[in-house]
Structure 1
Amino acid sequence: MHPRQRRAFQYTMNQARNAYQAEQWSEAFALLEQAHILGQRSTRAHTLSHWWMFKVAWRQRDWHEIRGQWLRLPAALLMSRLWVPEGNTGGANVSPLKPMPIPASLKMHMETR
């Protein structure tokens, strides 16, 4: 992962953890979706974002999201280096195979120049 992208991922994950600690579930999940986009090509980062999505879903007792994240965790471990749908936010509300546009606020962190 490019250093600028890694810093953006770490910052976003820290913000998500803070929101989690404050029990701000919607904010935490939205930040984790951003972290997912930033980190999905790194096995560690990709898996970490899904793990925290699972934790948020568990705290909310959101059974649909719990199941979705439980299925995505092994896929993140196995597929991150091979193929990921660019821009996918990682939540159970979207197909794990669907590419999505990368938000402009994240694009600048993902360039490798």
Structure 2
Amino acid sequence: MNHKLTLAFQQEMAAAKELYDNAQYSKSFYHLERAHILGQSFIIPHTQSHWWMLKLGFKRYSVREVLGQIARIFASVIFSRIWVPKGNTGGTNVSPIKPMPIPADLAEYLK
């Protein structure tokens, strides 16, 4: 990851963690989705975003999210450097293989 991308990823993760600590789970998930978009081509950041989504799944008592994130954690370790669906937000509310539009404010970091 280049420096700008690393900083953007860290900012999204910091926002997600702060909101998580304050039990603002929907807002936290939003930032995790953005972190996922930024980090999905790199094993550690990709897996980290899914790990936190898994934690949120437990907090929200969402069996679907928990099971989906467990599968996505394994996939992130295997596929991050091979192929990722660009722009995919990483939650179980979307197909794990569906490319999605990248938000304009994040696109600059992914060039």
Task: Kindly report which structure 2 residues correspond to 1:87-106, keeping only aligned pairs within 5 A, or say none.
Answer: 87-106=87-106
- The runs of at least 4 consecutive aligned structure 1 residues that moved more than 6 Å come to none
Q: Cα RMSD over matched residues?
A: 0.7
Q: Does 1:9 pair with 2:24?
A: no
Q: How many residues in Structure 1 have an aligned counterpart in Structure 2?
A: 111
Relative to the length of structure 2, the TM-score reads 0.97
CA distance in 2 between counterparts of 1:103 and 1:88 reads: 11
Match of 1:45 in 2: 45
Q: Does 1:82 pair with 2:74?
A: no
Per-residue displacement from partner, 1:36-71 (whole Å, max 9, x unpaired)?
000000100000000000001101101111111011
Q: Does 1:110 pair with 2:110?
A: yes
Match of 1:34 in 2: 34
Q: Could you tell me which amino acid in structure 2 is paired with residue 96 of structure 1?
A: P
Give 5+ residue unaligned stretches, structure 2. Answer: none
Q: Could you tell me which amino acid in structure 1 is paired with residue 55 of structure 2?
A: K
